[in-house]
Amino acid sequence: MPQPKVKLVVTGDDFGYCERRNQGIVDLFKAGGISNVSLLVNAVSAEHAAELAKRNHIPIGLHANLSEGLPVSQDLTGSTLLNKDGFFHGKMGFREVLQSGQLKMSEVEAELRAQVNRFCELVGHMPYHMDGHQHVHVLPEVREVFAQVLSDFGITYTRVPIEPGLKFCTFLPSHLRDFNAQVEKDALESIEVFHRHGIRWPDVYLGLSTMGKNMSVSNLKRALGFTLEASLDDGVTSQLIQSNDAATDSYHLVTAELMVHPGYPSQPHQGGCGEGPDDFSQSADRLHELNTLRDPLVLNYYRQQGILLCAFKDF
């Protein structure tokens, strides 16, 4: 490989969701298609995932979950985090309760701390990084608590989901474009908070435009090419890099994270975080991502372009 231009963390999210997703992620790691995983500690197969990570020496962080399934903390009976059935409110439900002003940040903090402690019990060490399932960690108010928890535990790295060139991805359906635009707005407003707490993140984030059916060899090349050629010229990315205390000249070796959701699709009634597997995890898109990420055309592109796969612990 030529001198690396990009250190790329390819993170397999939702590790622990079910044994099939877990095995697919491990197979992809062995094939060189991902370099890092993010563990859902409240998922039904989290223990299975942790054992696989240990056995295969897979770098692992925490996928903090406040929106799907059952909580880890035992002290949340009647909590504002939970619905009448004792489950988290869901991806959009969590945002609605937060926006209504009814969510207690003390309960958010208690659950986040419980999840870090559970991670340590399962894995045997602190998370190398910590991000949020369904991007809850960059939401207003939550980001302050999230940053404080990371700081207290000494967890250095997180994810800031602002993707260069995303606004030009008109192939995405309108509802996804709207959701992604809000995620990016929340993430941009999180930069100051994370920076104030001494938390770091890669220079460039990718993954909103390459999920599921939108993942293809050509679309991955488009996203990665943008990072390789224009990351320092993009207004948002330049702000990210400067906020992150990175070098600002054109010879800067860029660090990046590609968020992915591969695996062998969940079977009905097997997996999830206490409520069974959702449509997302049962979708054939999970296998499509797995097969695309291990495509020799993708792996060769990394080598040809000087993209070195690594993990947060390598930064």
- What domains lie within the chain, and their CATH numbers? 6-233+252-314 (3.20.20.370)
pLDDT at 228: 83
Instruction: Give the side-chain half-sphere CA count within 13 A for 51.
Output: 6
User: Does residue 13 have an active-site annotation?
Assistant: yes
Catalytic residue among 13, 14, 186, 203: 13
Pairwise pLDDT comparison (250 vs 310), residue with the higher score: 310
The pTM of this model reads: 0.93
- Asked if the model's pLDDT at residue 83 lies above 80, the reply is yes
- Asked if the model's pLDDT at residue 301 lies above 90, the reply is yes
Neighbour tally for 213: CB within 10 Å:
11
Instruction: Give the side-chain half-sphere CA count within 13 A for 276.
Output: 5
Q: pLDDT over 70 for what percent of the chain?
A: 92
H helices of 154-234, in order, are 174-196, 217-230
pLDDT at 236: 44
pLDDT at 249: 45
Contact 240, 233 (CB under 8 A): no
- The arithmetic mean of pLDDT across residues 76-105, rounded, is 95
pLDDT band of 5, cuts 50, 70, 90: confident
Contact 203, 255 (CB under 8 A): yes
- Of the chain, the end-to-end C-alpha distance in Å amounts to 19
Instruction: Write the CA distances from 5 to 64, 111, 209, 219, integer angstroms.
Output: 30, 39, 22, 19
pLDDT at 48: 98
pLDDT at 200: 97
- The arithmetic mean of pLDDT across residues 156-178, rounded, is 95
pLDDT at 234: 44
Contact 266, 18 (CB under 8 A): yes
- Asked if the model's pLDDT at residue 35 lies above 60, the reply is yes
Q: pLDDT over 90 for what percent of the chain?
A: 87
Q: Rounded to the nearest 5°, which phi and psi values hold at 126?
A: -65, 150
- Asked if the model's pLDDT at residue 296 lies above 80, the reply is yes
- The arithmetic mean of pLDDT across residues 206-212, rounded, is 97
pLDDT at 244: 52
Tens digits of residue pLDDT in 227-285: 787 444 544 444 454 445 444 444 578 899 999 999 999 999 999 999 999 999 999 99
DSSP 267: P
- Taking alpha carbons only, the member of 105, 92, 94 closest to residue 141 is 105
* Residue written as token pair 């207004």: 235
Contact 290, 24 (CB under 8 A): yes
pLDDT band of 2, cuts 50, 70, 90: low
pLDDT at 252: 72
Helix H or strand E segment including 20: helix 19-30
